Amino acid sequence: METSTLERFRRLLCSLQDDIQRTLIASRSRQGRRFAEVAEVTAEDTIFHVDKISEEVILGWLEKNWPRAWPVELVMEGLPPGATFPRGVAVKQTRWKLVLDPIDGTRCLMHDKRSAWALAGLAPQRGARTSLRDVVVAAMTELPTSKAGWADQLSAVRGGPLRATRRDLRDGRGKRWTPRPSAAVDCDHGFASVVKFFPEAKAATAALEEELWCGLGLHGRNGGARVFDDQYPSTGGQLYELIAGHDRLIADLRPLLLPRVGLASALCCHPYDICTALLLEAAGGVVARPDGGPLVARLDLTTPVAWVGYANPGLARRAAPVLRRLLAELG
């Protein structure tokens, strides 16, 4: 695929997310608390009113802006399986698969607590075999809280540099900036977390996390308080924290730990949540399975994904073997 074509896709995904951001900011000022109303409960997730707003934006934007010469399969909550654009095109005739999470971190946004993120990943169409490793273009755009003055956007094509823009929400003007993940090869005096958003399996997760810090020589040193925990309930937000240099390590092990306490995988990360992993790689970080292998989950709405993000390869080389050993001991 020519670089110029991928660059055009990158700009298109950024433009789509700009539209989502503008619409949500305008809708919040008009609708207020309606954001938090439950609109639908599906097998994948709970859909809120704010999610429905973003769905309408996406379908309208595609009609106006997506090149019809590039038919695409759409993978997004709220759309039926096999949804395509142009509408009515058979999936087998599409050339691309576009996975979207219009609002990753809905609860953060609807309670005006922390930014959510619009996520998009584009991969050449390989049918059911299309996986996260096939994503060649990705973009993520901040959906800010009501008091925010700036919002960030990150994008990249596979093998190319990370592009980052910070936009002034008052006048829409943007400026380039360069995110820098942490260069630290340990988690000492840094933020690092194992995901435990919900009460389910929290005790088991915390026990493994404590063993991880012990294995890395941090637990209890000099009276403790050597590693700081930050539970950001947005996979895109977690990737951003690694890319921006705020966090050093984030491990989402829910698909491995929830079944141990008899729970289903609906509370897990799914491919649409982690479809922008290549942005961390473009920034110099590492995203992998907990066993160190590549993320190869197929691009759908239901496959549970366990993943670990490291700020840099040196930290990955140090921490990954400890995590693998602990998971092997769990069986």
- The predicted-structure confidence for 180-191, as pLDDT tens digits, reads as follows 999 999 999 999
Residue for token digits 């990954």?
A: 320
Given a cut of 60, whether residue 168 has pLDDT beyond it is yes
- CA-to-CA dists, residue 138 to 9, 16, 51, 103, 238, angstroms: 9, 12, 20, 15, 16
Question: How many Å apart are CA 114 and CA 272, to the nearest integer?
Answer: 20
Given a cut of 70, whether residue 91 has pLDDT beyond it is yes
Whether 157 and 200 map to the same domain: the answer is no
Whether 251 and 294 map to the same domain: the answer is yes
Contact, 24 vs 143, CB < 8 A? Answer: yes
pLDDT digits (tens, 9 = 90+) for 124-150: 999 999 999 999 999 999 999 999 999
Chain centroid to CA 142: 11
CATH number assigned to the domain comprising residue 161: 3.30.540.10
Please indicate, yes or no, if residue 185 is contained in any of the structural domains: no
Residue for token digits 């670990």?
A: 308
Mean pLDDT of 95-115: 93
Q: Which of 153-157, 174-178, 260-264 bottoms out in mean pLDDT, i.e. has the lowest?
A: 260-264
- More confident: 5 or 43: 5
Instruction: Give the residue from 175, 102, 182, 172 showing the smallest Cα distance to 141.
Output: 102
Three-class DSSP category at 233: coil
Among 148, 176, 204, the domain boundary falls at 176
Whether 159 and 194 map to the same domain: the answer is no
- Structurally, the chain folds into a number of domains equal to 2
Question: Exposed (0-12), middle (13-18) or buried (19+): which is 273, by Cβ within 10 Å?
Answer: buried
Whether 172 and 195 map to the same domain: the answer is no
Whether 141 and 278 map to the same domain: the answer is no
Whether 134 and 239 map to the same domain: the answer is no
> 276: which residues sit within 8 A by CB, 6+ positions away?
119, 120, 121, 138, 139, 140, 154, 236, 239
Whether 219 and 121 map to the same domain: the answer is no
pLDDT above 90 covers what percent of the chain? 77
Please indicate, yes or no, if residue 168 is contained in any of the structural domains: yes
Containing H/E element for 39? Answer: strand 38-41
pTM of the model: 0.93
Whether 196 and 146 map to the same domain: the answer is no
Whether 16 and 163 map to the same domain: the answer is yes
Whether 29 and 110 map to the same domain: the answer is yes
Given a cut of 70, whether residue 20 has pLDDT beyond it is yes
Please indicate, yes or no, if residue 203 is contained in any of the structural domains: yes
pLDDT score for 241: 98
Confidence of residue 54 (pLDDT cuts 50, 70, 90): confident
Please indicate, yes or no, if residue 196 is contained in any of the structural domains: yes
pLDDT score for 41: 61
Task: Pull the structure tokens for residue 103.
Answer: 């609002």
Whether 116 and 218 map to the same domain: the answer is no
Whether 18 and 125 map to the same domain: the answer is yes
Please indicate, yes or no, if residue 235 is contained in any of the structural domains: yes
Among 176, 208, 227, the domain boundary falls at 176
> What is the span of the domain harbouring residue 197?
190-330
CA 182, 187, 188, 193 torsion-angle sign: positive
Please indicate, yes or no, if residue 181 is contained in any of the structural domains: no
pLDDT digits (tens, 9 = 90+) for 204-238: 999 999 999 999 998 876 666 689 999 999 999 99
CATH number assigned to the domain comprising residue 309: 3.40.190.80
Given a cut of 70, whether residue 42 has pLDDT beyond it is no
Please indicate, yes or no, if residue 244 is contained in any of the structural domains: yes
Given a cut of 90, whether residue 260 has pLDDT beyond it is no
Question: How many Å apart are CA 302 and CA 45, to the nearest integer?
Answer: 10
Please indicate, yes or no, if residue 53 is contained in any of the structural domains: yes
- Strand pairing partners for 25? none
Question: How many Å apart are CA 112 and CA 101, to the nearest integer?
Answer: 19
Average pLDDT value for the chain:
91
Question: How many Å apart are CA 92 and CA 214, to the nearest integer?
Answer: 50
Among 142, 176, 210, the domain boundary falls at 176
pLDDT score for 37: 63
- For the residues of 132-169, what is the DSSP string, one character each? GGG--EEEEEEE--TT-SEEEEEEEETTS--EEEEEET
pLDDT score for 39: 58
